[in-house]
Structure 1
């Protein structure tokens, strides 16, 4: 069982065992920001109205909503993940009424680096610095013992169980699967849960808005890049 935040789980699944990202920025940054919003929404720490406007509820911190056997404080990474959620909630509380999509973009700045730093601090990953061809500096984030972290293994199993239909799919698991599919992350061990595909709002609950906003931002970025490539090609070919 894992008590990592969705942002931490998403980052772990987006890096291979060599410590290299399988998803480029800023797409991963957007998705991790969306994961932060999902955790806050599912945990009752923010509310999103029918127009997608976000505000912070005046409720005490109740931790994460149970999903597949969540156990508070069962993993050292929870403290780091909780800090990230608390900071995001404080920002939202100071600027109520902004659109979910805006928060996906704003919270994305530096969020992956922050999550990676937390995973390193908690011992889940190790920061390794070397050089490519003895010249170009490179930083990798690999498991300390060279094998998949137990928390990541637990996450993969949870996703696989959801795909098999082994019990109900919780909102956090459904949200994680949707984010992974939006990013086309390879080899996660499971595709999007069938229930989430057929009845996304019912399964995702309050995470539905952050998922929709994240998908919109990621797709918009990809479309912008594609247009840029086509324009550059037209200029180069004179067409």
Structure 2
């Protein structure tokens, strides 16, 4: 683990450091952050796939406020499929994560008024060290031939599914190569591809969340060319 929530890393990658605005469709970002929380709970052994649903297997707090909030919500609710949870959790999640990052001094909350009455918020970077570490780990994963640590592999998987290669500063053939490597990492970590419930509990749980995310992104943005 990196000490930084997976959904927080994803959001920092998706927001421009200077303008403080999202650089990708917000619907896909919201879906991705919901999936990130579910994946992190699965990797922490708190939720698992069973009988078509994601269920809480260990309600013990993780110590991460947003993860624990979601964990409590899942424990109090009836079981739902990975796809259902991705949709249910995406609403309001980005605002809560941004508030956390503001409180931590990672980004600033800049409120502005447009057209004289519309209030908008920007979130430019205040402390770039967290995002710098995230980008460094991803760059090393892209350049290396070895499978990265589990947290980095999960992040790489989400970046690939969410079509976030431009957020890494990559376009054209470089973006195509990066996507190929990101998908290779996802497959090597057991986070995508053929799901076998006989192999493990955690990996299929993550892979099924990733599959649900991919379907939701395709539905929102259209199939990727």
- Structure 1-normalised TM-score? 0.75
Structure with higher Rg: it is 1
Counterpart of 2:14? Answer: 14
Q: What is the CA distance between 1:142 and its match in structure 2? A: 0.8
Assess if the C-alpha contact under 8 Å between 2:7 and 2:37 holds in 1: yes
- Structure 2 CA distance for aligned equivalents of residues 196 and 96 of structure 1: 33
- Structure 2-normalised TM-score? 0.79
Q: Are 2:35 and 1:34 aligned?
A: yes
**Can you give the 5+ residue segments of structure 2 that lack an aligned partner in the other structure?**
171-177, 192-202
- Structure 1 CA distance for aligned equivalents of residues 71 and 10 of structure 2: 19
- Structure 2 CA distance for aligned equivalents of residues 184 and 136 of structure 1: 30
1:24-80, Cα deviation, whole Å (9 max, x unpaired): 22221111100000110111111113x54101113644x5xxxxxxxxxxxxxxx7x
Over the residues paired in the alignment, what is the CA RMSD in angstroms? 2.6
Counterpart of 2:207? Answer: 208
**Larger deviation, residues 114-123 vs 124-133:** 124-133
Q: What is the CA distance between 1:121 and its match in structure 2? A: 0.8
Which aligned pairs between 1:107-118 and structure 2 lie closer than 5 A? 107-118=89-100
Which aligned pairs between 1:85-164 and structure 2 lie closer than 5 A? 85-132=67-114, 136-144=118-126, 149-164=128-143
Counterpart of 1:70? Answer: none
Counterpart of 1:54? Answer: 54
- Of 127, 145, 168, the residue aligned with 2:147 is 168
Q: What is the CA distance between 1:162 and its match in structure 2? A: 1.0
Counterpart of 1:197? Answer: 184
**Larger deviation, residues 173-182 vs 187-196:** 187-196
- Structure 2 CA distance for aligned equivalents of residues 27 and 90 of structure 1: 24
1:122-142, Cα deviation, whole Å (9 max, x unpaired): 111110012347665331001
Matched length: 202
Counterpart of 1:222? Answer: 221
